[in-house]
Each structure stands twice: as structure tokens, then as C-alpha cells.
Structure 1
Amino acid sequence: MDLPPIGLGTMGIEDPDVVETALDVGYRHLDTARIYGNERVVGEGLAASDVPRDEVLVATKLWIDDLAPGRVRAAAEESLDRLGLDRVDLCYVHRPRGEYDPAETLPALDDLVSDGLVDAVGLSNFTVDQLATAREHLDAPIAAHQVERHPLFAENDLLADARENGYPLVAYSPLAGGRVRELLEVQAVAEKHDVTPETAAIAWVVGTDGVVAIPKASSRAHLEANLAAANLDLDAEDRDRIASIDREEELFPE
């Protein structure tokens, strides 16, 4: 999919005004999930906005107990009802666990595409081997793979698979739960460009070819700052400095 470089991650957002504000400042990609418990909030914010629906990419995810073949359609329809939409642009398998069976779950997602409930199918938190297996069972191309990616954690085998197979990586938690502010390497790059460490970290993430990011923010100021990171060009020295950080701190392991 052709995704904006920076979208809005909505986990923990409980006020539709935040979503409406995000759209007002320029966000065009909203990412939610059934397990976040806020699909209705996202839908209300979208409905309140003056931005036309067809200009906004809305993504949601089916949780691990939504993935049995007899449950996929009902779960998707429930998400659409909460969102107040008749279709969703992108629907992910949130994690390949629980009721997930690639031979049965993925054809059920293909049916959602065929029937117009979903425009595209994404995967989230898969390994390279699981991605390969998914391609064997999914008729629709993998539209995106959503993974944890930030200066403290970046799995480059997943990036290589995304590039080889022509889909974007969608980086969640690009600010490492706020920890990027504490990293000396990120601080140095931020000071050089007179931006915040958060802006520098997001710029590093989305400055990698084939990667987009979905940071969460609630205030207009932070929403604007995160979005502006797409316009910050880091040079090779900046990128190497942040890349030198030991990247082994996964926040959301299986």
C-alpha cells in the first residue's frame, strides 16, 4: 500500500477530539485495533472531521480470538459497526497466535476483500517464516506488515522481507515508549537539528526506505511535531549515530 510516512497510532486514545485534531493538522492514516477498545472513538473522530472519508486510510486489526475462520467475518463486521464505516482500508491479523491458522484464517480474510468489507489485508508481529507461510495461503498481496521498530529495536530481516516482497513496514512505538528522549545518540542528533529527540527518532525510523511510522500523540503540539518529522532529512552521520545504539530492547515481545 502507498501509506503516508507518518500516521496516528491510537492505542490509549479515548477522546474522539484527538482524532479530529489529528486529521485537522494533516494526518491521513488512522491505526486502531479491536483490542485497543477504541474503534468507536476513532470512528467518532473521523465522522466529526471535515476531511472527506476517502482521503483517510483507516486500519484496524483482528485480535487472536477473532481468527477462527467462522469468526473472521463477524469480527470484521463488529469492527466496522464500531467505526461507523461500511468498509475499512486495511485489516490486519494482529498477532499469529490463538485461533490463527494460516490455511483457514487467511482465506477468510480474502473473502472480506472479495466482498468489499476490507480493501487490503495486512499482517502484524509475524516472523519471516510466518510471512512466507502466509503468502502461500493469501490470495491478496500482503499490503503491509506492522511491527515494533524504534532506535532500541529494529529487526532488519523483516525489513529485507518487506523490500523483497514489495510491501511497507509500519513501525509502531517508534518512540520506544518515550525512552528515545533518554538516549544520548538521539539527543545529539536532535540538538544538531534543533528539534526534539522524539522528532529525531521518528525521522530516523521513516528515513529508512520502505518504513512508515504510527506514533501516538494526544496534544495538538505533539501531533504537529510528530507529523513534521517526515520533513526532517537526517544525513548519513546522523543515521549512523542512531543506528549505533544497541537495538535489543523489545517493548512488546510475544
Structure 2
Amino acid sequence: MSASTPPRRALGPIAVPPLALGSWNTWDRMDPDAAVRMIRRAVELDAGFFDVAYYNTGPHAENSRTDILFGEALRASGVERSEIVLCGKLWLWDWPNQSFRGQLTESLERAGLDRFDTLVVGDYLAEPDIAHLVAEVNELIADGLVGGWGINNWRIGHTRAALDASVAGGLVGPSFAQLKYGIARRAMAEGASYGPLFADGTLALQASDVFEGGILATGLAPQRKIGADVGGVRERILALYPEVARIADGFGVTPAALGIAFCLTHPAAANVLFGASRVEQLEQNHAALALVAEHGAEVREALAGLQVDAAVNDDGSW
């Protein structure tokens, strides 16, 4: 481990690398050789955490092959399973009609995997039956298909209900929250709703959508599909890019590395999930680790005034 690589932090029952690679619009934008190089380099940089999702339900009904392509690249890479952390995803758009077991089995088969180390239960539109949900996830844990779980942008009331149901039933509850978090969007991760659960160690934070679909990494609004614009603040985020780029230049890093470093200064942050389709992007983003170690407080101070979603609900309601 290099001097710039911080100790791994706990994401529930496992210790994870600080950098995590997502699968949405990434592996399907690389040729096979580039994907193999990405996996090998990620392991070398202690960034071997891979989010593997099958996108073919609800708003993500895209019939994407990104999970299949990842599995092919992983096998071709020669990387041992013990060297990486794999995170799956369960969707609530058509649950419980589409069971968690059915979803997970299909996801594992498509990627050619036998289990996930952890998984995220995705966001939702209809009110979920929390007790049923917790019980169904725990069946997967009991069968060895996954080691733990977290939630993705849930309303705080449902997250607390899941924690309560887990305690009442002697079951494994969510151990982390994957939330939209970054230089401009801070309401949920830093607000009064999730704050106490992060402060007392009940949940770890996995920061996602940190570049706002690439806007805060490049200053450009991408043409591909990106995450939801909660609170309708994306135009204000786009307007921040010149200042973000200026601050990043002052620290000698890319805007993307600055954004990752900011997220890692959150006391509860276990890791930061981002998309990278070129090894060079991953290597540039890795500079965030040294930046946090050497100038974390300064990064926080330099970006203090750039939040744009202070008026957006911090409880996960849209």
C-alpha cells in the first residue's frame, strides 16, 4: 500500500477500498482490452471495488450489457476473486413481483459470478413493505449469496424502519447508505436526517453521482442518460464548474480528483463510487487520496461555499 493510500474503511461487515468503480455507462464504453487493463490497474491502486448492476427494470429498462462485459473482462484479467470487492444491486421498481432472489440470481449468472460481497437496494417510487424487504434480503445473506447490504437514496423514515425491523427480527440491517453527494449536492449526506446515523456509526456513507453525470469533472453536460436532478439544481451546478476547475488547479489535481477528495473528507465516507472508462481517468482520480491525506481540511474550506441544494429536503423526499 502506498503512502497516499489511506487505510480501508468499514462498509458494514467488510473493509473496502476508498475508490469504487461503477458500472452504469462504463464497461459498455470500453473495448475488451481496455476493460481488462482497468480492472488490473484498479487492483494495483487499491481501487478494486466494483459496483455490478443489471440495468433492465423501471427507469433503467435499457437491456444494458455492461454487467456481462464486466464479467468477461474480470475473467480475462486473471485477477483473483479474493483481491476485489463486488457490490450488486437490487431494484424496487417491480418488487415484489420481481423477487430479490430472482434478480440476484439473474445478475450473478449474467456476470458469471457466484456471490456479491455486499449489495445496494435501489430507490423506489411506491411505498415499500419494509419488513418484507428486510426479510427477503436476509434470506440471500443466509444462503451465502451476499455478505451485507445498504440502501440507495431512501427516505430517512424507511431507512430507520429497516434498521428497526432488523433489530426486532434479529436480522442483518442496512450498514451503509449510497447517497448523492458531492461538492454541490450535500443536503442528504450532511443534513439532520441522515447525520445522526452517520455520526453514531450506524451507517457508513458511500458517495455516488459525485460528478453530477460528468458535469463537475468536465464542465460539459453529457448526452448520455445521467442521474435524477433532485431539486432541479443542475443548471446551478453546471455554473459552478469554472470555480471548481480553478480550485482544483490550485491543488494541482483534476476537478474530478478534487470532487472525490471532498467526498472522502466526510467523516462517515467509506468510499466514493464513480464511473471511469479510461485507465488515465482512474489514475488521475487516484490523486484524490494524497490530496485528502495532505490537504483534507484545506479542500473542505476551499469548497465551503459551493453547495447549491441547501433548500432541498434532506430526508430523501423528492
Q: TM (normalized to structure 1)?
A: 0.89
Partner of 2:19: helix, strand, or coil?
Answer: coil
1:11 corresponds in structure 2 to: 24
Q: Deviations over 1:99-139 (max 9, x none)?
A: 83211121010010001111111111112222101112231
1:164 corresponds in structure 2 to: 200
Counterpart of 1:123 (choices 128, 151, 160) is: 151
CA contact (8 A) 2:23 2:67 kept: no
Q: Which amino acid aligns with 1:215?
A: F
Identity of aligned residues (%): 26
Aligned pairs for 1:121-160 (under 5 A) are 121-138=149-166, 139-154=171-186, 155=188, 156-157=190-191, 158-160=194-196
The whole-number CA distance in structure 2 between the counterparts of 1:44 and 1:24 is: 13
Name whichever structure is richer in helix by fraction: 1
Task: Give the unaligned 5+ runs of structure 1.
Answer: none
1:67 aligned to 2:61? no
CA contact (8 A) 1:69 1:105 kept: no
The whole-number CA distance in structure 1 between the counterparts of 2:161 and 2:89 is: 19
Task: Give the unaligned 5+ runs of structure 2.
Answer: 1-10, 220-239
CA contact (8 A) 2:153 2:179 kept: yes
Pair 1:175–1:203, CA change in 2 (3 A): same
CA contact (8 A) 2:86 2:116 kept: yes
The whole-number CA distance in structure 2 between the counterparts of 1:253 and 1:43 is: 35
The whole-number CA distance in structure 1 between the counterparts of 2:210 and 2:72 is: 26
Bigger mean CA deviation after superposition, 21-30 or 53-62:
21-30
In the TM superposition, what is the alpha-carbon distance from 1:19 to its structure 2 partner? 4.0
Pair 1:239–1:188, CA change in 2 (3 A): farther
Partner of 1:183: helix, strand, or coil?
Answer: helix
In the TM superposition, what is the alpha-carbon distance from 1:69 to its structure 2 partner? 7.5
Counterpart of 1:213 (choices 247, 250, 272) is: 272
The whole-number CA distance in structure 2 between the counterparts of 1:136 and 1:186 is: 40
Bigger mean CA deviation after superposition, 13-22 or 148-157:
13-22
The whole-number CA distance in structure 2 between the counterparts of 1:106 and 1:239 is: 36
In the TM superposition, what is the alpha-carbon distance from 1:160 to its structure 2 partner? 3.8
CA contact (8 A) 2:253 2:287 kept: no
CA contact (8 A) 1:128 1:161 kept: no
Partner of 1:44: helix, strand, or coil?
Answer: helix
Q: Which amino acid aligns with 1:34?
A: Y
In the TM superposition, what is the alpha-carbon distance from 1:184 to its structure 2 partner? 4.1
Counterpart of 1:246 (choices 284, 297, 307) is: 307
The whole-number CA distance in structure 2 between the counterparts of 1:49 and 1:228 is: 24
Partner of 2:99: helix, strand, or coil?
Answer: helix
Q: Which amino acid aligns with 1:48?
A: A
CA contact (8 A) 2:23 2:52 kept: yes
Bigger mean CA deviation after superposition, 224-233 or 102-111:
224-233
The whole-number CA distance in structure 2 between the counterparts of 1:235 and 1:82 is: 40
Q: Deviations over 1:117-164 (max 9, x none)?
A: 111111111122221011122311323211111111012133442332
Q: Which amino acid aligns with 1:243?
A: A
The whole-number CA distance in structure 2 between the counterparts of 1:18 and 1:170 is: 26
The whole-number CA distance in structure 1 between the counterparts of 2:177 and 2:302 is: 26
Q: Which amino acid aligns with 2:308?
A: R
What is the aligned residue count? Answer: 253
The whole-number CA distance in structure 2 between the counterparts of 1:220 and 1:253 is: 36
Alignment RMSD (CA, Å): 2.4
2:285 corresponds in structure 1 to: 226
Pair 1:31–1:235, CA change in 2 (3 A): closer
1:112 corresponds in structure 2 to: 140
In the TM superposition, what is the alpha-carbon distance from 1:11 to its structure 2 partner? 0.6
CA contact (8 A) 1:68 1:99 kept: no
The whole-number CA distance in structure 1 between the counterparts of 2:67 and 2:195 is: 28
Q: Deviations over 1:155-202 (max 9, x none)?
A: 213344233243321111111223324534422331222111111111
Q: TM (normalized to structure 2)?
A: 0.72
2:229 corresponds in structure 1 to: none
